[in-house]
Structure 1
Amino acid sequence: MSRLSIDQAQLDEFLEERRSEKATLIPVEGRAAQLGDVAIVDFEGIIP
């Protein structure tokens, strides 16, 4: 059986990706959107 070798940077990147996938969204109001925020935009358009 071969051994898998990864460095600390690869491990950190993998863990951060998993954290982002499992993150819970918390509603925030009263400020502009910031880097890292998730904006949910709901609109209806009408074509004349």
Structure 2
Amino acid sequence: MGSRWIFLSAMHSLTCILSVEALSEHCLYSKICASEISLLGLLSYLVLR
């Protein structure tokens, strides 16, 4: 369960990063996306710990 969640989070983050690359002029979206990735990273850290 835990590793599957990490994998899904990673895939979501990657999709998000690629979206930001494609829409780099949209600063607000980039900021939202960055905070989302940070939250997922924190969750992943807590789950793995």
TM-score range, shorter chain: 0.3 to 0.5
Report which of the two structures shows the higher radius of gyration computed on alpha carbons.
1
Report the TM-score when normalising by structure 1: 0.37
Report the TM-score when normalising by structure 2: 0.36
Higher relative contact order (CA 8 A, sep 6+): 2
